[in-house]
Amino acid sequence: MSASPVKPTAQADAPPTAKPHVTEREARQVAEAAREQGWRKPSFAKELFLGRFRLDLIHPHPLPPSEDARRGEEFLARLRDFCETKIDAARIEREARIPDEVINGLKELGALGMKIDTKYGGLGLTQVYYNKALALVGSANPALGALLSAHQSIGVPQPLKIFGTQEQKDEFLPRCARTDISAFLLTEPDVGSDPARLATSAVPDGDDYILDGVKLWTTNGVVADLLVVMARVPKSEGHKGGITAFVVETASEGVTVEHRNAFMGLRGLENGVTRLHQVRVPAANRIGPEGAGLKISLTTLNTGRLSLPAMCVGAGKWCLKIAREWSGVREQWGRPVALHEAVGSKISFIAATTFALEAVLDLSSQMADENRNDIRIEAALAKLYGSEMAWLMADELVQIRGGRGFETAESLAARGERAVPAEQMLRDLRINRIFEGSTEIMHLLIAREAVDAHLTVAGDLIDPDKSLSDKARAGANAGVFYARWLPKLVTGAGQLPNSYSEFKHEVDLSPHLRYVERSARKLARSTFYAMSRWQGRMETKQGFLGRIVDIGAELFAMSAACVRAELLRTQGSNGREAYQLADVFCRQARVRVEELFGRLWNNTDDVDRVVVKGVLTGTYTWLEEGVVDLSGEGPWIADATPGPTTQENVHRPIR
């Protein structure tokens, strides 16, 4: 692949658009415009945040068609054999690279096309079995799971499946199914979760676009054959402009992978920095219309986000296995450490949480397959909850293992003990709280969707740009909505002792579902009170919004755990044990929910803001004295000025 620039026509010779200066309000407007505005299908989580516990939307638990399950299980069996016989996880960790033969083996297995329709050469697996496959591969090596996920969940296949033309599908999907690895390029050195400031440009030039810019943290980018690139089209005559999605051949003139990044975990990850200089892309490679790039990205992530919690579920299962085996062998004070309460409580947390995470994942995935419900909130909650809880489980496993948890697998093996990579698991999982929307961004994204009904009827009341007549009209509409909605938050099925009795067996889960119903109404009342109190300032109360979302996540997980336990009971598959795990999880979750409710109004948010201002103005620099700063020289953010590359191209296509 050459990194030399093309010779564009005069129109494309114009300098690339400068990085836009965007105000906070403008940035919010860009993000708002990218949202799916309507709710054409029901949503369990949306209803939950509104105080309506719609158990009927998730119970009885949906199930995959038998033929889908058969094909999925057959592939999982082949994939398991490959993982057990062909993947050397220690070698990947040691060399910080996935061997080409492993990736080629996955290609031959069809793993690149798990989610691609069979008519394009893919396997056509359901979301449920795609996630099971990712959990399996991720347990063999998380970097491999990330490679397959980035390729299929956010890379070329998924955007084309939803938004691509038939010609694009015919051209690119067969390649993605068997041979070509893809990557998604949105982030830039100075642009992360605020895409309104995106600087990469796409200047129209006849039947082409000329792309210029620098993209950072391009997972798969070092080895990718195809790229989904988000770039800004300048508004001009005949061009709506805006952030737009393109399929770009990595072998195109002007595409250079300038650096392969290295991280604390996921050492085999092929993640890099990609420069695009005067890259000519046919208009036929544009995905959707101009200006639809962010909407395409967010819509793709509605199901794409489920891949990350899938690997978190796999991590939980492994943590549970190691905790069980180790704590039964290791003795302290004459007893296995598992029988000491301080350790036993950690094991119970890992077991119960793994059960709940799998319940959330399978329920959300099956709902995605059925396509009867809008799962944008459920998928986001699964990502948020899975990444946070998996990290906690891995941390608890390291604590259970003690000094051996801190020791590397290689060192353990060298001195004659089992090579348990507990510390690697902790390092590998840490990125999940940042990947595909950090925890903080997920809180804000979910909170926005959770209050959508309120903003729909009353948003104009707090919008400073709206006229008095608009505000009056919004006030009238809000009065009608709240007159109907608020009384329903006073009482509900959660106050009736016999509600949800179908969940009452040897272990009784019905009290937990009644708690979810009562808590959902309390959550909705708390949200309404906060909106009434803070109005337009509500969006700045990120601590409060985060707790609201965390409560909703716990309630969703409790609901999913109970529904899964009942499914397993009716199937005769470990039903009694599933009820026990669901009961323990719900008891643990209720403790967390009560703490979160208390912290809605009793917290340190106000004084924290005072301290932050002091830190930024240098009030506490005296506290930083007495240490050595090892971080070296250089700018905090690298220069990303468009232009020709000065670096060696480290792109490494795998054939």
**What is the domain-level CATH number for residue 414?**
1.20.140.10
Distance separating alpha carbons of residues 30 and 33, to the nearest angstrom: 5
Name the token pair of 135.
């959990």
Give yes or no: residues 295 and 306 share one domain: no
3-state helix, strand, coil in the chain (%, to 5): 60, 10, 30
pLDDT at 1: 37
171 assigned to some structural domain? yes
- The last residue of one of the domains, among 149, 178, 207, is 178
Same-domain pairing of 81 and 171: yes
Residues 136 and 271 in one domain: no
CB 526 within 8 A of CB 548: yes
The last residue of one of the domains, among 432, 458, 482, is 432
The domain boundary, picked from 128, 156, 178, lies at 178
Q: Say yes or no: 241 and 263 in one domain.
A: yes
Run of H or E residues at 494: none
**For the CA atoms of 545, 546, 548, 549, what is the dihedral angle to 10 degrees?**
120
Task: Assess if residue 36 is contained within a domain.
Answer: no
Q: What is the CATH number of the domain that holds 258?
A: 2.40.110.10
Identify whether 358 is a catalytic site residue: no
Q: What is the domain extent for residue 189?
A: 11-24+182-299
Residue 58 and residue 51: Cα distance in Å, rounded? 16
**What distance separates the 2 farthest-apart alpha carbons in the chain?**
82
Q: How far apart are CA 543 and CA 524, in angstroms?
A: 17
- Which pLDDT belongs to residue 19? 62
Number of residues that make up the chain: 655
Long-range contacts of 652-655 (CB under 8 A, 24+ apart): 652/222, 652/223, 652/257, 652/270, 653/1, 653/223, 653/225, 653/250, 653/251, 654/100, 654/103, 654/104, 654/181, 654/223, 655/104
Distance (Å, rounded) from C-alpha 199 to C-alpha 233?
10
**Close Cβ partners of 252 (under 8 Å, ≥ 6 residues apart):** 279, 280, 281
Output the domain CATH number for residue 91. Answer: 1.10.540.10
Whether residue 213 is found in the same domain as residue 118: no
For residue 469, count other CB atoms closer than 10 A to its CB. 9
Q: Is residue 366 part of a domain?
A: no
495 and 592, same domain (yes or no):
yes
For residues 529 and 595, state if they share a domain.
yes
Task: Enumerate residues 6+ apart whose C-beta is below 8 A from 200.
Answer: 188, 211, 212, 213, 214, 215, 229, 230, 231, 232, 276, 642
In the chain, which residues have pLDDT < 70?
1-20
Are 291 and 323 found together in one domain?
no
3 state SS of 588:
helix
The answer to whether residues 588 and 563 belong to one domain is yes
CATH of the domain at 522: 1.20.140
482 and 550 assigned to the same domain: yes
Q: Is residue 58 part of a domain?
A: no
Residue 285 lies in a domain: yes
- Asked if 520 and 52 count as a contact pair (C-beta separation under 8 A), the reply is yes
Domain assignment present for 619 = no
Q: For residues 193 and 287, state if they share a domain.
A: yes
**pLDDT single digits (tens) 614-642:** 999 999 999 999 999 999 999 999 999 99
Q: Cβ(251)–Cβ(228) under 8 Å?
A: no
Q: What is the pTM of this model?
A: 0.94
Q: Give a yes or no: residue 38 inside a domain.
A: no
Domain check: are 154 and 191 in the same one? Answer: no
Structural domain contains residue 633: no
pLDDT tens digit sequence for 501-511: 999 999 999 99
* Rounded CA separation 215/388 (Å): 27
Please tell me the total count of domains within the chain. Answer: 4
DSSP state string for 108-148: HHTGGGTTS-GGGTS----HHHHHHHHHHHHHH-HHHHHHH
Catalytic entry in 93, 436, 517, 554: 436
